[in-house]
């Protein structure tokens, strides 16, 4: 009792480096403002005001980030808020990636030209299948709460990649997940499908975060602290029980791998990607992946670097399972959104290779490679889902692959861009996907993971087959007479797709700038 009183007396106010966490504060502050606006504005003004606020926030946060990154700052980064948040070079890179990817996603979310009124339901409380539901499907107007939810999710993701202790990481994990669960269930059409996706994502996500949390508790018991650096220090000593360390590590990693949709923990991915509104799928596929792998990289390189020989074999196996599942099950899919979902499982395997590429000398060549891969993959995915949202028939998006037959004859431009994006996902040269795979595999070879690279190359070849199958279907089949039409997108979706496709091309031709930037620094330890 007296011990605890004594401890409470030692508490003091933390130092806060406001400049370093300004982007985070801007995003979360704007999210709160957005909730307030949602409460106070009349219905017809909400969409426009929310959109301006959201895009303005993303631009403002990026500005604050650039200002801080170019100003005088410690080269190894700073730990602020009593060491809870680490703002170092990888953090800044991941923040910039998240902000720009979120910008593209918000454009897709806000679009009202492809689907009149937007891809989101007018009122989430309307029961699917009723008269009111059929009426809302054609009515304009949407549930504008999507914008604050997006901002909260983004704030959670940014906190997640910069969190320097496991408790902050857990809270950030929930802040990013809870809005996403809700957003999954808000599709305007195929409501029941969308709600089912939300239930599945929620139940499995909550299950996984419970595992993550138990891992945190065991590591706290092991190290006496949840700071990543304290865990590393404790693991360097030998007088403690390894059971707690490795049980904690295992449970923690299960939670992280679930969020990243890796290997055997991917079962939610295809269902949720298919059921969620396509703009939300784009946001999830791009930004959640970046956030989850940002967290995995930091945990593995900062807290568990000196125990790598104990866990590397396990994650080695997980990466293999992930690539095989993604590539083989991707072959059997008949729905384009599910196919991209399995492709993301395969990509998660490649990213995991980069994440475990640590050398015995304690350097991590995989970090900068993985960061580059995440950026490249995110842009390609957003553009790909943007294209998916354009191919429609009378009851919404036509996602069945058979409906995509002969698409090149209906719309050569859309088919052309989609072909380019699929080639990028497959990793064909002149696209960012090729450079990404190249740098990740080189890092893996440097870290002595050559057999894993061979397996990855085989998996890439298998995966390339199902991308090529879609391309062949689009170009060399006759279009069905009652097939879907390709909607001419408005400005927002056009900008998002163009942004994604152009970045994919530019990073494929001149990757040096971004590669240098990704390699400027290491995690603060």
**According to the 3-state scheme, what is the secondary structure of 149-182?**
HHHHHHHHHHHHHHECEHHHHHHHHHHHHHHHHH
Question: Of all helices (H) and strands (E), which one includes residue 80?
Answer: strand 78-80
Considering only 49, 55, 82, 193, the residue that binds other proteins (CB under 8 A) is: 193
Dist. CA 423–CA 297, nearest whole Å: 27
Rule CB under 8 A: say whether 4 interacts with other proteins: yes
Dist. CA 446–CA 300, nearest whole Å: 17
Rule CB under 8 A: say whether 171 interacts with other proteins: yes
- Residue 126, class by beta-carbon neighbours within 10 Å (0-12 exposed, 13-18 middle, 19+ buried)? middle
Dist. CA 196–CA 43, nearest whole Å: 28
Rule CB under 8 A: say whether 39 interacts with other proteins: yes
| Nearest approach, Cβ of residue 185 and other proteins (Å) | 6
Rule CB under 8 A: say whether 270 interacts with other proteins: yes
| Nearest approach, Cβ of residue 328 and other proteins (Å) | 13
Rule CB under 8 A: say whether 131 interacts with other proteins: no
Closest CA to 111 of 272, 276, 278: 278
Site string for other proteins, 340-359 (x = CB under 8 A): --------------------
Rule CB under 8 A: say whether 11 interacts with other proteins: yes
What three-state secondary structure class fits 87? strand
Window contacting other proteins (CB under 8 A); options: 55-63, 80-88, 167-175, 465-473: 167-175
> Looking at beta carbons only, is 203 or 236 nearer to other proteins?
203
Considering only 259, 289, 338, 347, the residue that binds other proteins (CB under 8 A) is: 338
> Looking at beta carbons only, is 29 or 60 nearer to other proteins?
29
Rule CB under 8 A: say whether 328 interacts with other proteins: no
Question: Of all helices (H) and strands (E), which one includes residue 486?
Answer: strand 485-486
Rule CB under 8 A: say whether 472 interacts with other proteins: no
How wide is the angle at C-alpha 157 spanned by C-alphas 152 and 159, nearest 5°?
95
Considering only 60, 221, 250, 416, the residue that binds other proteins (CB under 8 A) is: 221
Considering only 174, 233, 416, 469, the residue that binds other proteins (CB under 8 A) is: 174
Window contacting other proteins (CB under 8 A); options: 34-42, 60-68, 277-285, 347-355: 34-42
- Please tell me what DSSP assigns to residue 262: -
> Looking at beta carbons only, is 173 or 501 nearer to other proteins?
173
Rule CB under 8 A: say whether 316 interacts with other proteins: no
CB-based contacts of 67-70 (< 8 A; 24+ apart in sequence): 67/19, 67/22, 68/19, 68/20, 68/22, 68/23, 68/92, 69/96
Rule CB under 8 A: say whether 480 interacts with other proteins: no
Considering only 47, 68, 120, 170, the residue that binds other proteins (CB under 8 A) is: 170
> Looking at beta carbons only, is 357 or 398 nearer to other proteins?
398
Q: Taking the CB of residue 340, how many other CB atoms lie within 10 A of it?
A: 29
- Please tell me what DSSP assigns to residue 205: H
CA distances from 353 to 31, 342, 363, 373, 517 (A): 35, 17, 15, 11, 21
Residue given tokens 């195929």 in the structure block: 190
Considering only 163, 288, 333, 381, the residue that binds other proteins (CB under 8 A) is: 333
Q: Taking the CB of residue 69, how many other CB atoms lie within 10 A of it?
A: 18
| Nearest approach, Cβ of residue 167 and other proteins (Å) | 5
CB contact at 8 A, 215 and 254: yes
Considering only 56, 74, 129, 412, the residue that binds other proteins (CB under 8 A) is: 129
Considering only 59, 66, 135, 206, the residue that binds other proteins (CB under 8 A) is: 206
Q: Which residues bind other proteins (CB under 8 A)?
A: 3-4, 7-9, 11-13, 32, 35-36, 38-40, 124-125, 127-129, 167, 170-171, 174, 178, 181-182, 185, 191-193, 195-200, 202-203, 206-207, 210, 213-214, 216-218, 220-221, 224-226, 270-271, 274-275, 332-334, 338
């Amino acid at each position: 009792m007296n011990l605890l009183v004594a401890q409470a007396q030692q508490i003091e106010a933390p130092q806060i480096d406001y400049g370093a966490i300004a982007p985070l504060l801007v995003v979360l502050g704007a999210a709160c403002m957005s909730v307030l606006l949602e409460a106070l504005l009349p219905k017809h003004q909400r969409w426009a005001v929310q959109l301006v606020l959201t895009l303005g926030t993303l631009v403002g946060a990026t500005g604050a980030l650039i200002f801080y990154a170019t100003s005088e700052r410690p080269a190894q980064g700073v730990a602020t808020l009593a060491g809870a948040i680490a703002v170092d070079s990888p953090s800044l890179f991941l923040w910039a990636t998240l902000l720009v990817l979120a910008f593209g996603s918000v454009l897709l979310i806000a679009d009202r030209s492809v689907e009149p009124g937007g891809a989101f339901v007018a009122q989430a409380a309307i029961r699917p299948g009723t008269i009111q539901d059929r009426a809302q499907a054609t009515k304009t107007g949407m549930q504008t709460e999507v914008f604050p939810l997006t901002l909260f999710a983004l704030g959670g993701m940014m906190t997640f990649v910069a969190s320097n202790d496991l408790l902050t990481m857990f809270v950030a994990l929930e802040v990013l997940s809870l809005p996403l669960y809700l957003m999954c269930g808000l599709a305007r059409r195929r409501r029941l499908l969308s709600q089912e996706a939300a239930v599945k994502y929620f139940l499995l996500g909550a299950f996984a975060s419970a595992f993550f949390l138990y891992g945190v508790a065991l590591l706290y018991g092991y190290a006496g602290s949840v700071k990543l650096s304290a865990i590393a220090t404790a693991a360097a000593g030998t007088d403690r029980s390894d059971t707690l360390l490795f049980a904690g590590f295992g449970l923690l990693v299960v939670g992280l791998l679930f969020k990243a949709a890796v290997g055997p923990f991917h079962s939610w991915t295809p269902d949720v990607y298919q059921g969620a509104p396509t703009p939300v799928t784009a946001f999830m596929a791009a930004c959640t992946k970046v956030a989850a792998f940002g967290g995995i990289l930091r945990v593995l390189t900062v807290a568990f670097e000196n125990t790598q020989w104990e866990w590397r074999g396990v994650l080695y196996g997980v990466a293999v399972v992930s690539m095989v599942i993604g590539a083989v099950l991707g072959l059997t899919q008949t729905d384009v959104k599910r196919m991209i979902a399995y492709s993301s499982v395969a990509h998660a395997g490649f990213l995991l290779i980069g994440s475990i590429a640590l050398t015995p000398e304690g350097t991590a060549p995989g970090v900068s490679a993985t960061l580059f891969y995440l950026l490249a993959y995110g842009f390609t995915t957003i553009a790909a889902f943007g294209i998916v949202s354009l191919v429609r028939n009378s009851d919404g998006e036509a996602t069945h692959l058979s409906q995509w037959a002969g698409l090149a004859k209906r719309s050569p431009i859309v088919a052309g861009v989609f072909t380019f994006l699929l080639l990028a996902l497959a990793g064909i040269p002149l696209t960012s996907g090729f450079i990404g795979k190249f740098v990740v595999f080189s890092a893996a070879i440097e870290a002595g993971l050559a057999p894993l690279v061979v397996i990855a190359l085989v998996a890439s070849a298998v995966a390339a087959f199902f991308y090529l199958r879609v391309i062949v279907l689009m170009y060399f089949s006759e279009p069905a007479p009652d097939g879907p039409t390709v909607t001419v997108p408005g400005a927002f979706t056009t900008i998002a797709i163009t942004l994604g496709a152009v970045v994919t091309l530019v990073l494929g031709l001149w990757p040096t700038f971004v590669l240098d930037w990704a390699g400027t620094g290491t995690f603060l330890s």
